[in-house]
Chain A
Amino acid sequence: MAIDKIYDDIPGTVVFDSDQAIKGYHLNQFCISLRLAPNREAFKADPQNYIDQFPMTPEQREAALNQEWNLLLELGGNIYYTSKLAAFHGINFQNLAGLMTGMGSDYRDMMIAGGRNIDGNRYQSEWDEK
Chain B
Amino acid sequence: MAYISSGVACSHVPALGVASDTGIANDDYYGPIFKGFEFSKQWIENEKPDVIFLVYNDHCTAFDARIIPTFALGCASEYVPADEGWGPRPVPVVQGHRELSAHIAQSLILDSFDITIMNEMEVDHGLTVPLTMMFGQPDEWPCPVVPLAVNVVQYPAPLGSRCYALGKAIRTAIESYPDNLKVCVFGTGGMSHQLQHKRAGLINSEWDDRFMNLLVNEPEKGASIDHIEYLREAGSEGIELVMWHVMRGALNEQVEEVHRFYHVPASNTAVGHLILENK
- By a beta-carbon cutoff of 8 Å, the part of chain A in contact with chain B is 6-7, 10-18, 21, 24-25, 28-29, 32, 34-37, 70, 73, 78-81, 83-84, 87, 93-94, 96-97, 100-103, 107, 110-112, 114-118, 121-122
* A80 with B60: CB separation less than 8 A: yes
In the bound complex, CA of A20 to CA of B198 (Å): 17
Within 8 A of A (CB), among B204-243: 204-207, 227-228, 231-233, 236-237
A86 to chain B: closest residue by CB: B85
Contact of B207 among A18, A36, A116, A118 (CB under 8 A): A118
Asked if B154 is an interface residue, CB under 8 A from chain A, the answer is yes
Asked if B201 is an interface residue, CB under 8 A from chain A, the answer is yes
A102 to chain B: closest residue by CB: B198
In the bound complex, CA of A95 to CA of B46 (Å): 40
Q: Which one of B65, B84, B202, B228 has the highest number of Cβ atoms from chain A below 10 Å of its Cβ?
A: B65
- By a beta-carbon cutoff of 8 Å, the part of chain B in contact with chain A is 14-15, 59-61, 64-66, 83-86, 153-156, 192, 194-207, 227-228, 231-233, 236-237, 264-265, 267-268, 270
In the bound complex, CA of A28 to CA of B201 (Å): 23
Chain B contacts of A70 at CB under 8 A?
Answer: 197-198
* A11 with B203: CB separation less than 8 A: no
Contact of B195 among A24, A29, A34, A97 (CB under 8 A): A97
In the bound complex, CA of A107 to CA of B236 (Å): 18
A33 to chain B: closest residue by CB: B64
Given A32-B65, A87-B85, does the pair A97, B200 have CB atoms closer than 8 Å?
yes
* B197 with A73: CB separation less than 8 A: yes
Q: In angstroms, how far is the closest chain B Cβ from the Cβ of A79?
A: 4
* A73 with B196: CB separation less than 8 A: yes
Chain B contacts of A117 at CB under 8 A?
Answer: 203
Q: In angstroms, how far is the closest chain B Cβ from the Cβ of A72?
A: 10
